[in-house]
Structure 1
Amino acid sequence: MRIAVVGGGPGGLYFAALVKRIAPRHEVVLWEKGGVEDEVGFGVVFSDGALGGVQAADPRLFDVLGDRFVHWDAVDVRYRGETLSRGGYRFSAVERRALLHLLRERCAEVGVTVHFGTEAPPVPLLSEDFDVVVAADGVGSATRAARADAFGPDLRPSASRYLWMGTDRVFDALTFTVVETPHGTMQAHSYPYAPGWSTFIVETTDRVLAASGLDVPDRAPEATAAAVADLFADQLDGHRLVCAGSRWGRFTVVRNRRWVDGNVVLLGDAAHTTHFSVGSGTKLAMEDAVALAMALSDHGVPEGLAAYEAERMPVVAKTQHVAEVSRDWFERVDEHVGLPAADFAAHLVTRSGRIGRLDLPLVDHGHVERVRTWFSEALSGTG
């Protein structure tokens, strides 16, 4: 079987390595238009369940990858001078560049042909020359756009803006920080991903961003990072922020009516996206890779493509629903600002419905009894 992969992100690379490992006689060719050193981003998150899937599909990769992970088991909410925590989680994170480097090495080991800094041939040519064409070319997938009538993409930009940064302030949990600036509310999503480093994603509305003067296209990334760091000075505790670029993004929800058109199939962000507040984007892309590789191994083409679509679309739809509820909460965070700390934290932690009020309480470091009282009142309706 001859398989073409368009896109060298985690999903495309992982699929290419898996399918070549399962069936060494297959010819697998991957194109990535960016260069080897063009990757952006700081840390990516996985749940323990996702790590288990990686281990089962490629134990050797997992053994190497496992040494790079940073682990934590709590969620912290920082709000109006309070830090409230909830334990019982099991998450891990890794530097995105390190993940891509390991996946590239794995592709080289198993014999995948990879073309970096090279645009893939047009879809019609790939479709004629290869048995399967995997479109793993991201949110702005050109492959998907070329067959929009067949895939039926639904792209919905978010109402908020975000900037993905890193910091040498090491957080020991998934931390949600809300600050009330002179221009309006801003929030940060942060978590550790490597020794001495944490991801720090800042999110806010268009109105607040415009009022703050932070969205200046020609501003140097260092200046943008320093300006944001000033707003989050209490949380960063003297540490710096680093951003790969000064452009503020707008998250886009991606859905498709179908993921398969003939021998062309969508994978990862080309097929679906989930808001970063639930940390599932890379996880879902790599789970897609496992499902597609196994489906092709078990069924061949076209049955394997149909089986992949039937298996993954319902699973992803559930996660997208949770992610959109979470995204909507953060876009309307002003509705909750002003609540007592424990009430605010309770709303944030239970925002998606995956955790209920009965799963609480949280604890405030240094203020345990007071927070217990707050939660007791909130749950009884007397607060």
Structure 2
Amino acid sequence: MGAGPAGLYTAIALKQHDPRQEVTVWERNPPGVTHGWGVVFWDDLLDEMHRVDPVSAREVRAAAVVWDGQAVQVGRRVPVFLGGSGYAIGRHRLLGLLSDRARALGVDLRYATPAPEDLVTAEPGGLVVAADGAGSLLRRRYADTLGTRLEPGRNPYLWLGTPALFSTFTFGFVDTGSGWIWCHAYRFDEQTSTFIVEAPPATWTALGFDRLDIDTCLRTLSELFDPVLHGATLHAGPGAQWQTFRRVTNDRWCSGRLALVGDAAHTTHFAIGSGTRLALGDAIALAEHTHGVQGPEQLPAALAAYDTRRRREIRPLQDEATRSTAWFEDPVALLEQGDDLRLGWSLWQRRRSAPAWRWYLHRASQHASLRRVRTSASTVRRHVRAGRRALPVAPRPVAVPDRGPSDPSPHATSGKEL
């Protein structure tokens, strides 16, 4: 249930494990309807995708753009540069590639078709996957059994797009006179960048965003963020609105023959850019643990093993997401110190502490010549990883878990180890 990245890749992975399986995906929206602009990912996801389905891995890599480095810019001051690199792809493009691949493998995709109400209880029995996002309707029906908890975040945010091409991942901070506001921006294709605006509640209210319509908000935001937009406009997708991040957790990711994947099972704050990576990881693990199940009586044990494994695997990232969220909920004291180099260093460490030598590398990276060396090293690493993916793919054994810049503009260089 759900034709987002989690649902489509679950279908692909299931078919790759056993082409004889009948796999149906129900999606209540028509094809092409999606939320958001672009998403980011790293080589580790491409490696896993290549192991499961080399065709879709190659297509996703070919459609993605590369970003190298991060920029932290406060107002119109010279940016501070950080390391890191990765990929970005438009969400619409990603879903198109995955849906085409699923159809090619024989998956029955049913768009504009809500899943049957009795999907979990109907006979004959089979695996049922809730992949319908943070607001999962299917999970909601079993919330008590699954132990679902929803925790609202603090800061309002707005997911936008812009023709300004941020080829470094840019964090732009602006003092509006009514409080600080900031953006997370990165290019995801040849024409467009994602531009996420985030503000503390007091700033958001003081600027009138709690009562202004979206078009008026866009005009105000375009003016506020001119230091990084340089005259470019901001665009909102259909139905765009301010929202706060919802942290979704579940005590259990399975009940009977029902399994949760992706945001239906867990959410991680957009500030660490790992939602797609975790969703596809869930899909891969679920397909591995249910492969070879003989009959409905074996399914609960297989799902319990999937639950245990994935909960253990994603825990470090969830912890990092919690720390990252806390950083962005209260960066004002750091911003008002006026030390942009220290601000960038703090942002770099928001997920985990870095060794002391990293500070000296951080200082040295403000020189364009050393940044070029770091960018070249990232390029070499990408090529090495790509070369390994060209080798024959070996299946991964499933172990049941033990239960007990030269140019000061951030646009001048080419996209984040977040």
Contact 1:48 1:90 in 2 (8 A): no
| Aligned: 1:329 with 2:327 | yes
Q: Which residue of 1 aligns with 2:280?
A: 286
Q: Distance in 1 between matches of 2:369 and 2:56?
A: 44
Map of 1:59 onto structure 2: 54
In the alignment, what sits opposite 1:250? Answer: 244
Report SS of the residue matched to 1:158: strand
The residue number in structure 2 matching 1:364 is 366
Match of 1:170 in 2: 165
Shift of residue 97, structure 1, vs aligned partner? 0.2
Deviation at residue 180 of structure 1 after TM alignment: 0.8
Q: Deviations over 1:94-140 (max 9, x none)?
A: 00000000111011101111111121112455554441100011111
The equivalences for 1:116-265 within 5 A come to 116-123=111-118, 126=121, 128-216=123-211, 219=213, 221-244=214-237, 245-265=239-259
Equivalenced residue count is 361
Q: CA deviation at 1:40?
A: 2.1
Q: How far apart, CA to CA, are the structure 2 residues paired with 1:246 and 1:229?
A: 16
Which amino acid in the other structure matches residue 240 of structure 1? T
1:310 correspondence with 2:312: no
Separation in structure 2 between the aligned mates of residue 366 and residue 12 of structure 1, nearest angstrom: 43
Aligned residues of 2:82 and 2:344 also touching (Cα < 8 A): no
Within the candidate set 70, 82, 86, 1:86 is matched to 82
State the shift of 1:298 in Å.
4.7
Deviations 1:352-378 (A, max 9, x none): 21534531324336799xxxxxxxxxx
8 Å Cα contact 1:127/1:264 also seen in 2: no
Instruction: Kindly provide the amino acid, as one letter, of the partner of residue 278 in structure 1.
Output: I
What is the rounded CA distance, in whole Å, between the counterparts of 2:65 and 2:368 in structure 1? 26
Match status 1:25 vs 2:20: yes
Q: Which amino acid aligns with 1:282?
A: T
Matched, 1:70 2:65: yes
1:295 equivalenced with 2:289 (yes/no): yes
Contact 1:350 1:356 in 2 (8 A): no
CA distance in 2, matches of 1:62, 1:354: 32
TM-score (norm 2): 0.82
SS of aligned partner of 2:259: strand
Identity among equivalent positions (%) equals 35
Cα pair 2:120 2:128 within 8 Å, conserved: no
2:35 to 36, 40, 48: 40
Given that 1:161 and 1:248 are in contact with CA atoms closer than 8 Å, whether structure 2 keeps it comes out as yes
Supply the distance in 2 between the matched residues of 1:46 and 1:37 (Cα, whole angstroms).
21
Change (3 A) 1:183 1:292: same
Unaligned ranges ≥5, structure 1: 1-5, 369-383
Measured in 2, the distance between the counterparts of 1:241 and 1:52 equals 34
- Which segment is superposed worse, 26-35 or 114-123? 114-123
- What is the Cα-based RMSD across aligned positions, in Å? 2.0
Are the equivalent residues in 2 in contact too, given 1:47–1:91 (CA < 8 A)?
Answer: yes
The answer to whether the Cα contact below 8 Å between 2:120 and 2:258 also exists between their aligned partners in 1 is no
More strand by share: 1
Cα distance in 2, alignment partners of residues 367 and 329 from structure 1: 30
C-alpha displacement of 1:222: 3.9
**Normalising to structure 1: TM-score of the pair?**
0.89
Q: Secondary structure at the match of 1:364?
A: coil
Q: What whole-Å deviation, never above 9, does each CA across 1:37-85 have from its counterpart, x for those lacking one?
A: 3212111110111111111111011121111111122121112412111
Partner of 2:23, secondary structure, is: strand
Moved more, 97-106 or 297-306: 297-306
Cα separation, partners in 2 of 1:343 and 1:119, compared to 1, 3 Å? same
Q: Aligned partners of 1:207, 1:246: CA distance in 2, in Å?
A: 21
Q: Is the Cα–Cα contact under 8 Å of residues 224 and 246 in structure 1 kept in the other structure?
A: no
- Tell me the amino acid that sits aligned with residue 281 of structure 2: E
The equivalent position to 1:266 in structure 2, one of 260, 273, 288, is 260
1:338-353, aligned counterparts within 5 Å?
A: 338-339=336-337, 340-353=339-352
Quote the Cα distance in structure 2 between the aligned partners of 1:222 and 1:60: 41
Paired residue secondary structure (1:177)? strand
Equivalent AA in structure 1 for residue 354 of structure 2: I
Q: Which amino acid is the alignment partner of residue 217 of structure 2?
A: T
Q: Which whole-Å CA distance do the structure 2 matches of 1:43 and 1:188 have between them?
A: 14
Name structure 2 gaps, 5 residues minimum: 371-418
Moved more, 195-204 or 122-131: 122-131
Relative to structure 1, is the Cα distance of residues 229 and 367 closer, same or farther in structure 2, using a 3 angstrom cutoff? farther
Following TM superposition, by how much is the alpha carbon of 1:269 offset from its aligned partner in structure 2, in angstroms? 0.2
Aligned AA (1:84): V
Which residue type is aligned with residue 266 of structure 1?
L
